[in-house]
Structure 1
Amino acid sequence: MIRCTPFHPYAKAGAGSATLSMAYAAAKFADACLRGLRGDAGIVECSYVASQVTELPFFASKVRLGRSGVEEILPLGLLNEFERAGLEKAKKELAQSIQKGVSFINK
């Protein structure tokens, strides 16, 4: 089972509180997980997971949840030029964040 989280734990980089949005995201994701584990069909939520959607080892994607947890990581789908440019920009920043997290875990 792929473990994942529906929100970034360092929201606002310590410059404020994202507690309410994090709590809502956690509650929504927990409900979706429980419905998936119950066997409900078609449970799709966004989650930051280990994946091959991009060349990065982790990425936020839509996932299909089921009895075994994350059962499928869905592709991004068609992107227009503006979206592709934004994705490339975001991947550069995300790659740095991933490396920082991996280095922290490996200490």
Structure 2
Amino acid sequence: MAYAGAIFADACLKGLNGVPDVVECSFVQSTITELPFFASKVRLGKNGVEEVLGFGPLSDYEKEGLEKLKPELKSSIEKGIKFAKEN
């Protein structure tokens, strides 16, 4: 986890410093699914997350897996939002 955090922090700093085309995965607010948050590749820049990148083509197997994970992820997102609002 520490290594992943260091890699992401380094990518954020590069983006903020204007290095072009810095792409990392992040759990962010997005519209790539009907869920309010989702982990996906993002393009980082001087303003933080500049673009949330889509999935690209998914196989039928991947689409099925995505649909299966949505109820659990939705529940976790709702718990996180509730916690944030209460604290």
Pair in the same fold by TM > 0.5: yes
Residue 102 (structure 1) aligned with residue 81 (structure 2) = yes
Distance 1:45 1:106 in 2: 28
**Where do residues 29-40 of structure 1 align in structure 2 (5 Å cutoff)?**
29-40=8-19
| Alpha-carbon RMSD | 0.8
Distance 1:33 1:91 in 2: 28
**Displacement, 1:23?**
0.8
Runs of 4 or more, structure 1, over 2 Å off, are none
What is the TM-score with the length of structure 2 in the denominator?
0.94
Distance 2:85 2:46 in 1: 31
Match of 1:50 in 2: 29
Match of 2:62 in 1: 83
Distance 1:65 1:32 in 2: 8
Residue deviations 1:34-66 (CA, integer Å, cap 9, x gap): 111111111000000011010000000100001
In the alignment of these two chains, the number of paired residues is: 86
**Displacement, 1:100?**
1.0
Runs of at least 5 residues in structure 2 that lack an aligned partner in the other structure: none
**Displacement, 1:106?**
2.1
Distance 1:33 1:98 in 2: 24
What is the TM-score with the length of structure 1 in the denominator?
0.77
* Percent identical residues: 62
**Displacement, 1:104?**
1.4
Match of 1:28 in 2: 7
Task: Determine which of 19, 34, 39 is the counterpart of 1:60.
Answer: 39
Which structure has the highest strand share of the two?
Answer: 2
Distance 2:46 2:4 in 1: 21
